[in-house]
Structure 1
Amino acid sequence: MTSTSTASQRARSHAGLAWLILSLACACQFMVILDASIVNVALPSIREELGFTPTGLAWVVNGYLLTFAGFMLLGGRAADLFGPRRILIIGLLLFSASSLAGGLATTPEILVAARVVQGVGAAMMAPATLAVINTTFTEPHARAKAFGAWSASGGVGGMAGAVAGGAITTGLSWRWVFLINVPIGAVLIGVAAMSLAGMRTGRREPLDLAGALTGTAGLAALIYGVMQSADHGWTSPLVVGPVGAGLVLLVVFTVVEARLAGRPMVPLRLFKIRGVAVGNGMLLLFGGIAIAMWYFSSLFLQNVLGFSALQAGLGQTPAAVTFMVIARWAAALLPRTGVRPLVLAGSACFLTGFGWFSLANADSGYVTGVLGPTLLIAVGIGLTFPTLMAAATADVPEGDAGIIGGLANTASQVGGSIGLAVLATVAGTRAASETDASSPAAALAAGYDLVFLMAAGLGLAIAVVSLLLPRHRRS
């Protein structure tokens, strides 16, 4: 009786610790993704108080996104070498300290520098949270549920940005968009130090400096060039130069990892695992779908239907809630169905939802023109995102959990950056060609409708690529 009672107490204690660790990982992911969008609504107030130029103001957003995506691989490998607990805590410290500096900034230069450092902290936190989940949840069903919760927290963080940014800026000050991270970060650091105390501390291997430099610089240059395309066009030297340099550096990085590095930062043997290779390919495509859904649907609400930024955020809330519910449900199904059925179902939702959305125009109402299709697309995102993350990180040795988390996050972020640049160019070109449109809103609607059709095509591409997975693939 006593031994049974003791075993039961240990089981409850382990379950409680696992729940605390999952809550920590979800909170970190929520905060990382939230800070990519929460600042957008505050930009006019920031420009007025600190005297930003229009070009410089963009780097309040781009500085964060550039280092977040560019340093993700390095952050993931650091989690493997030095332990996910240590890297997560360091990332939280950087993120919180730079948030404090940003909230107290008195010049544009200080704020942009703070956002750059904040992005580095986020690039350490995101893959470390995935490594923590992979290490803590080893049973397939529990791991799938954990991925569902983690995915939902990131998706809701992205959606909550507009609402939270508008409420904080209006009710307090733009500075609290950054300062609010400080007390939250302090609490999360304490939870991480306590709950992850027994986690592995990494392994004694030197960091692949050549791979780290070429990989990080290549990703940063590529993303920087893509970001510049919105202002300068794809043929500008300011775009072609960085993109070309980034691609060359990434080729060099591949050669270093394949032939020169004794202990490579990204072991290419990982891509022999079909789920890793195919899953990351699908995540690259998924990044464009996520941008089409959250970013361009917000623009449609504001620029075509005349919603304010706060109203647009509230208008997207039903889709965010739907995504959160479906992601948790899909994660519970994943161990039984495998990856492919959920991805195909999600792709069908993308095709139908974006096809429906492409019919919206300046005279459409919110319910039939936006709410209906976005709810359907949110179902597709809920079915596919946690499934793709699980596929891209499954069957990986525990010692590579950090770098595989970095790869998966990088694929999604790079896909989103490229998707934003390409789709924004397409939307602008199409809107400019609508010379006989009845109003500017009608011309913009035509551009966004083309974006939604292209997003439907990305959904179809994900369905095709998913066929490369084994038929009975299980997470």
Structure 2
Amino acid sequence: MVTEKKRWFALALLCLTGFMIILDASIVLVAVPSIERELIFSSGGVQWVPSGYALMFGGLLLLGGRISDLLGRRRVLMTGLVLFGACSLLCGFAWSGDALVLARGLQGAAAAVLAPSALSIVMTTFPSGADRNKALGIWGATSGVGGTAGSLIGGPVTDGLGWQWIFFINVPVCVLVLVLAPVLLMDSRGPGRRGFDVAGAASVTAALIVLVYAVIEAPESSVGRTVALIVLSALLFGLFVLVEKRSAAPLVPLRIFRSRSLVGGNLITVAWGLAAFGLNYIYTQYAQLALGVSAIRYGLMSAVLAAAAVVASMVGQHLVTRVGPRVVGFVSLVIAGVGTTLMCRVTVDSGYFELAFWGLTIFGAGLGAGTVAGAIAALSDVAGEDSGVASGLQSASFQIGGAVGVAVLSAVATAATTGTTPIALTHGYRIAFLAVWSFIVLGLAGCGLLVSRKQSTQGQLEPVTS
């Protein structure tokens, strides 16, 4: 029997775990220039430091949830903590660029096991009703803060202790949660006996890795080689669909894609992952390489984005209930487009209030409200038995979008840069900021698939069932 007080202590422990996982995806963006200076990477190879984590995290997230359901959620969470902490140590002690990329990939795989286990325990600790809704709200807010706090925390850590410590700080957190987990957390398993869809997880992750590799290498590769890699990625995606059709326990039951709301919501989520991670990566490069600011100053410059996103997410939740996710999603994407258009005007002499205060604040406002709209749309039209896979798919969409967004905008900036001077670099970054509009257009297409709030209340949406 779990007491009321123990439930909330358990939630605090699980939220700390979720914060650490999401923070690790964003904090590394601040340290990328420092990492590139100290370790040897091939052309474009440093992009795999953030992208490798996001790809493995997003690609294996659904499989991680299945493992958690079958083997026991607390047991899998504790195993994930050991793996995540060990991989964090490997990252911090990495002796070369290749070693760091490999360790980051393993760390992402550990996060894919850890994150769904933690969320599943939250769901089983709190019974359906007001308490569960409150717990999930706290979990979501904590994860949101983790996603935007990377710049603020990463700057002082990188400049003060060294980039290695953005990984080392995970270790005491893992140890703390590992010690308290047997005391505070219940163990449970999912209903039924289901298999592990390893073939599905392997094929979709391989497809994503090949796609990102093709984009990263495109500026230095021949057109024929790039096209061949993209075709290979498409074939692997096709293999994934074939596996899912024939699997007795698919990672993603294909029937759920009959829902326009789910498809539209996930397109919006992918678009925000592409735009948020991609823009943050380019802005980090611009601030530290073209402007020459320190990691600490960069963190302060980007703080307005995090603040605007947090405030707008709270406003967005209220607006979605009044006007529906389609309107909020559309307006938020247009607002973000205005912000990124302002950032296309950056120069080597741009000041803080000229760029960060306006461009980043406006983009952050769109990001905060838009991610809420995408999440609600993706999960609102799904039957109860598919809620877990729909939630995992929505989380994976954001992480995968982030990995691809970093690769695409980096490739655009590289292709548009014709020198190594600050002016030449800034020209490439301006073109990359402009390319964010292609992601926004994808999100607007997702909005087009959503029905209006009036249509929804008239019963034109039916839950997705088998």
Give yes or no for contact 2:329–2:370 (8 Å, CA) kept in 1.
yes
Change (3 A) 1:168 1:292: closer
Determine the C-alpha separation between the residues in 1 that align with 2:181 and 2:159.
33
The 3-state SS of whatever aligns with 1:467 is helix
Change (3 A) 1:146 1:326: farther
Equivalent residue number for residue 235 of structure 1 = 223
Change (3 A) 1:144 1:186: same
Determine the C-alpha separation between the residues in 2 that align with 1:362 and 1:145.
46
Gaps of 5+ in 2: 458-462
Give yes or no for contact 2:33–2:289 (8 Å, CA) kept in 1.
no
Deviation readout 1:160-200 (Å, 9 max, x if unpaired): 33443443344334443322211101223455555541655
Deviation readout 1:186-230 (Å, 9 max, x if unpaired): 22345555554165545321223432332333333333433444x
The one-letter code matched in structure 2 to 1:285 is A
Equivalent residue number for residue 423 of structure 1 = 409
The 3-state SS of whatever aligns with 1:71 is helix
Determine the C-alpha separation between the residues in 1 that align with 2:97 and 2:345.
42
Give yes or no for contact 1:66–1:224 (8 Å, CA) kept in 2.
no
1:469 paired with 2:445, answer no
Give yes or no for contact 2:345–2:430 (8 Å, CA) kept in 1.
yes
Give yes or no for contact 1:166–1:310 (8 Å, CA) kept in 2.
yes
Determine the C-alpha separation between the residues in 2 that align with 1:272 and 1:304.
47
Deviation readout 1:92-144 (Å, 9 max, x if unpaired): 22111222344455677765543332111112233445555666678798877
**Aligned match of 2:351 in 357, 361, 365?**
365
The 3-state SS of whatever aligns with 2:416 is helix
Equivalent residue number for residue 460 of structure 2 = none
Deviation at 1:384, TM superposition (A): 1.0
Alignment of 1:33-432 (within 5 A): 33-39=22-28, 52=40, 54=42, 60-82=49-71, 84-104=73-93, 111-131=100-120, 150=139, 152-190=141-179, 192-197=181-186, 199-229=188-218, 232-233=220-221, 235=223, 237=225, 239-258=226-245, 260-397=246-383, 399-432=385-418
Determine the C-alpha separation between the residues in 2 that align with 1:134 and 1:450.
44
Determine the C-alpha separation between the residues in 2 that align with 1:129 and 1:451.
36
Gaps of 5+ in 1: 1-9
**Aligned match of 1:452 in 433, 436, 443?**
433
Give yes or no for contact 1:151–1:386 (8 Å, CA) kept in 2.
no
Determine the C-alpha separation between the residues in 1 that align with 2:115 and 2:442.
26
Give yes or no for contact 1:361–1:442 (8 Å, CA) kept in 2.
yes
Change (3 A) 1:349 1:142: farther
Q: TM-score if structure 1 supplies the norm length?
A: 0.81
Identity of matched residues, %: 35
Equivalent residue number for residue 6 of structure 1 = none
Determine the C-alpha separation between the residues in 1 that align with 2:438 and 2:337.
7
Alpha-carbon RMSD: 3.7
Determine the C-alpha separation between the residues in 1 that align with 2:267 and 2:173.
34
The 3-state SS of whatever aligns with 1:306 is coil
Determine the C-alpha separation between the residues in 2 that align with 1:179 and 1:114.
13
Q: TM-score if structure 2 supplies the norm length?
A: 0.82
Deviation at 1:87, TM superposition (A): 3.8
Determine the C-alpha separation between the residues in 2 that align with 1:347 and 1:140.
32
The 3-state SS of whatever aligns with 2:350 is coil
Change (3 A) 1:21 1:381: farther
Deviation at 1:43, TM superposition (A): 6.0
